[in-house]
Structure 1
Amino acid sequence: LLDDENPYNPLDRKYKLKKGNSSIPLFKTRLSLSSKSTLIKLTTTIFSDYDPSIRPYCQGHEQVNVTMDLAIRQLIDMNEPDQIIKLNLWIRLRWIDCLLTWNPIEYDNITDLIVPFNKVWTPDITIYDSVSQEFYGLEKFRANISYDGAINYNFPTVTEIQCQVDVTNFPFDRQMCPLQFGSWIYTGNLLDMNLENDHADLSALKENVEWGIPR
């Protein structure tokens, strides 16, 4: 998308529906200038006293509830001698940050903001049995903030995980590789993780010529 094409801005969508009308350009310019000005005002306001290093706190709720949904995009490699499995994952995280809320009526009905990863607090989610130090490429993606404080952060990553291999039935063996996610820093009374589903999303899985993942 171009800089002025914000898919979450209803004003941009109005313009695109009427793009063929020759009387639109002046109207579009006014909307774009107004929208950008309001967007700057909104961003400045909600982030004026915000510190992304501080865990969100909602009055009456000490604990931050993080919901995670996991999609396995590809089983890249299963290294049996080293007992390491390499996966391409899509991870989707959701939580509430009560410090990042606003009234859309006061800001040209803007209901969502898309901001850089390091602009907001994010949970320090990791895979406990991962041989990688951290999720690769987190800083390259952006978070979506809704006016009610709901934050969605979706990102792809490639990770290598320890997997205890049992070759008793080789070459027709089946391996169980548990994925245990959690926080390194926060205890359960400060950050609670919940799974959206009790199984990974395999709808976009690319097949591996040697190994398969039961659907």
Structure 2
Amino acid sequence: MSTMSTGTFIGLLAICAVAQCQLFDALYTYVLDKAANTSIPVVSSREPVNVSIGMSLIQLTSLDSKSGDAEIETWMSFRWTDTRLSWDPTTFNDTAFIRLPLSRIWNPDVMLYNGHTSNIEPLTVVDASGGVMYFPPTTLKTRCYVGNYTKDGSVTCRFKYGSWVYDGFLLNVIESSNEVDLSNYESDETEWELTKQKVERRVTHYACCEQPFPDVVFTLKFKEKGKRNSVWNIFD
């Protein structure tokens, strides 16, 4: 699947909706009859399901410089392929995409390890090859590192995502980009400035097991606007 920002893709979906892109009941029936919403679509142990994860930052809702408690609003993105959901577009009036409820298809158990999430459950977008795209608006809550706040006014927040029960031989999480999408970030609504951000994939191995356990970490570093380095504060 080609790469585009979450904001761009959602914009394209809106255009499609205005144009009344209707799909036929026969296609929904055909796809859902083949769908298996409980079993992971793994062909072999050498071919795990790749789940790409991305984040589009919308707003920093709150950040406590003492406790480190933070809340942000995001559009998360999850992409994977399930060939059981594929179809021949020529058989269904050249239909290239359909929208399906997440609950009706298999979906990865990828979650935030170090915090809490709340989100609505929008429809997934499935293409004719079985590629699935899911973009839930998500509120993330975590506790950030505040050890540098007294030095330079900065707070670093990390959001670690991975599968809850699958190892990397079955489900492989990867980053969709090495950066957080900031195209929709509302930076004027907060007293904190976003100074650094990155996305990285890591793999953990445990002594007990040969399987790898991958995760994707989103790092956001904020600095309080107007906060000066402590070396200058002694002259206040």
2:127 to 146, 154, 157: 146
* CA spacing shift, 1:174–1:168, aligned 2, 3 Å: closer
Partner of 1:122: 107
1:87 pairs with 2:72: yes
Task: Point out the more displaced range, 78-87 or 53-62.
Answer: 53-62
Matched, 1:7 2:16: yes
> What's the TM-score once normalised by structure 2's chain length?
0.69
CA contact (8 A) 2:75 2:138 kept: yes
Alpha-carbon separation, structure 2, partners of 1:137 and 1:73: 14
Between Structure 1 and Structure 2, which shows a larger proportion of strand residues? 2
Residue aligned with 1:105, SS: helix
**2:58 aligned to 60, 73, 94, which one?**
73
Aligned counterparts of 1:6 and 1:44: Cα–Cα separation in 2: 25
Q: Which has the larger radius of gyration?
A: 1
In structure 2, do the counterparts of structure 1 residues 176 and 49 end up closer, same or farther at CA, with 3 Å as the change threshold? same
Higher relative contact order (CA 8 A, sep 6+): 1
> How far apart are residue 6 of structure 1 and its match?
9.7
The question of whether the paired residues in 1 share the 8 Å contact of 2:53 and 2:173 is answered with: yes
Specify the alignment match of 2:150 in structure 1.
Answer: 169
Rounded to whole Å, the distance in 2 between the matches of 1:103 and 1:118 is 23
RMSD across aligned C-alpha pairs, in angstroms?
2.6
Relative to structure 1, is the Cα distance of residues 213 and 115 closer, same or farther in structure 2, using a 3 angstrom cutoff? same
> Any residues of structure 2 matched to 1:1-215 within 5 Å, and which?
7=16, 39-58=24-43, 62-130=47-115, 132=116, 135-139=117-121, 141-167=122-148, 169=150, 172-207=152-187, 208-214=189-195
Is 2:46–2:169's contact at 8 Å kept on the other side of the alignment? no
1:120 aligned partner, one-letter code: I
What SS does structure 1 have at the residue aligned with 2:140? Answer: strand
Q: Which whole-Å deviations, capped at 9, do the CAs of 1:136-177 have from their partners, x for residues lacking one?
A: 2243x010010001111111111101212115535x411222
Structure 1 stretches lacking a partner, 5+ long? 14-34
